[in-house]
């Protein structure tokens, strides 16, 4: 019995050792050449060149400034013929937007820009039609814009938001990372939402943050008070300090009201117990 237990422990130790060595070797693997120049460098607070020219899904010439009219903007850099990551990003974003009370175009706008200079308004219009149908809110048509442009303007915009991408001629695809760029109404980078799945709460809070709480209602401002952005987890986390402060304020107010009511009750009691003069 004792020998059997020892053998089992030995087997478990070997399995653990193999897994540990495997994970170490995997971590030491070099980054593939096609991905070495790909990534996103956060440049919070940097302003975008709003006069960069592009074409919208109708083929009309526009500048980015057209979409900055006092509302924050969710910017995505994708390409419309992307078979994988771009679709996952937009799908995840739309899933989050469906669960938000705000509609695109109402309190914020969205701009998707193709990084492929060979794509034109036709591809942009087809992609817009597809995602508006998926979103299911017709009024969003005036709030979500799909742009195409020349390589120079695309690269300049990508550089300003820190978006590094590379074309792979063998795969005939663009290698790139995934993130949504939250831009203030003035055209400055406020936040990066990483990945392909997004929390509706995080999207909402990032938009509130981009406007410093100028959009939304009292509930939204309360959420901003309670949550802060966690750069390690890349999401908004509950801020215990603010909750404690808020709890302290509520406690003080509650005690004050209680003492006032108690004081009035005692005065009323004394008045009732006071003997009448004859």
In the predicted model, is pLDDT for residue 161 greater than 90? yes
| Mean pLDDT computed over 215-229 | 44
The answer as to whether 136 is a domain residue is: yes
pLDDT, tens digit (0-9, with 9 covering 90-100), for 59-97 = 999 999 999 999 999 999 999 999 989 999 999 999 999
DSSP letter at 148 equals: B
Domain span at residue 58 reads: 39-198+206-212
Give the whole-angstrom CA distance, residue 2 versus residue 88. 53
> What is the average pLDDT value for the chain, to the nearest integer?
78
3-state helix, strand, coil in the chain (%, to 5): 45, 20, 35
The answer as to whether 54 is a domain residue is: yes
User: According to the model, what pLDDT value does residue 13 have?
Assistant: 46
User: According to the model, what pLDDT value does residue 170 have?
Assistant: 85
User: According to the model, what pLDDT value does residue 4 have?
Assistant: 52
Give the whole-angstrom CA distance, residue 67 versus residue 183. 11
Most confident residue range from 27-31, 127-131, 242-246: 127-131
> Which phi and psi angles does 62 have, rounded to 5°?
-140, 165
The answer as to whether 155 is a domain residue is: yes
In the predicted model, is pLDDT for residue 272 greater than 90? no
| Mean pLDDT computed over 249-256 | 46
User: According to the model, what pLDDT value does residue 134 have?
Assistant: 97
Give the whole-angstrom CA distance, residue 37 versus residue 175. 9
Q: What's the domain count of the chain?
A: 1
CATH at residue 52:
3.40.30.10
User: Distance of CA 181 to CAs 10, 45, 87, 100, 190, Å?
Assistant: 51, 12, 16, 18, 8
Looking at beta carbons, which pairs linking 91-96 to residues 24 or more positions away fall under 8 Å?
Answer: 91/134, 91/196, 92/195, 92/196, 92/197, 92/198, 93/180, 93/198, 93/203, 94/131, 94/134, 94/135, 95/197, 95/198, 96/197, 96/198, 96/199, 96/200, 96/202, 96/203
The answer as to whether 172 is a domain residue is: yes
Residue 270 binned pLDDT confidence (cut-offs 50, 70, 90)? low
The answer as to whether 113 is a domain residue is: yes
User: According to the model, what pLDDT value does residue 212 have?
Assistant: 79
Full-model pTM: 0.69
pLDDT, tens digit (0-9, with 9 covering 90-100), for 1-34 = 544 554 555 554 444 444 444 554 444 455 555 5
The answer as to whether 126 is a domain residue is: yes
Give the whole-angstrom CA distance, residue 216 versus residue 191. 18
- The more confidently predicted of residues 51 and 202 is 51
| Mean pLDDT computed over 45-72 | 96
The answer as to whether 23 is a domain residue is: no
Give the whole-angstrom CA distance, residue 137 versus residue 94. 11
- Tell me the β-bridge partners of 77: 113
* pLDDT > 70 in the chain, percent: 63
The answer as to whether 182 is a domain residue is: yes
- DSSP SS3 for 212: coil
| Mean pLDDT computed over 135-150 | 97
In the predicted model, is pLDDT for residue 228 greater than 60? no
In the predicted model, is pLDDT for residue 118 greater than 70? yes
Give the whole-angstrom CA distance, residue 124 versus residue 129. 9
């Amino acid at each position: 019995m004792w020998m059997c237990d020892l053998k089992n422990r030995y087997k478990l130790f070997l399995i653990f050792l193999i897994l540990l060595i495997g994970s170490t070797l995997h971590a030491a693997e070099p980054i593939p050449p096609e991905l070495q120049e790909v990534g996103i460098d956060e440049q919070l607070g940097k302003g975008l060149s709003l006069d960069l020219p592009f074409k919208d899904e109708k083929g009309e010439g526009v500048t980015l400034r057209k979409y900055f009219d006092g509302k924050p903007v969710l910017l995505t850099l994708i390409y419309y013929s992307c078979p994988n990551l771009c679709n996952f990003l937009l799908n995840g974003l739309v899933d989050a937007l469906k669960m938000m009370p705000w509609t695109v175009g109402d309190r914020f706008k969205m701009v998707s820009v193709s990084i492929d200079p060979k794509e034109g308004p036709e591809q942009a219009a087809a992609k817009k039609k597809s995602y508006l149908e998926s979103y299911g809110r017709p009024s969003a048509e005036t709030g979500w814009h799909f742009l195409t442009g020349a390589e120079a303007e695309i690269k300049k915009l990508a550089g300003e938001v820190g978006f590094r991408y590379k074309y792979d001629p063998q795969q005939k695809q663009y290698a790139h990372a995934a993130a949504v760029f939250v831009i203030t109404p003035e055209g400055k980078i406020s936040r990066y939402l990483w990945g392909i799945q997004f929390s509706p709460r995080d999207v909402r809070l990032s938009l509130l943050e981009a406007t410093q709480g100028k959009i939304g209602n009292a509930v939204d401002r309360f959420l901003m008070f309670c949550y802060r952005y966690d750069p390690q987890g890349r999401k908004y986390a509950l801020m215990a300090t603010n909750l404690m402060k808020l709890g302290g304020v509520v406690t003080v107010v509650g005690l004050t009201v209680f003492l006032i009511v108690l004081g009035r009750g005692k005065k009323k009691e004394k008045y009732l117990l006071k003997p009448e003069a004859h």
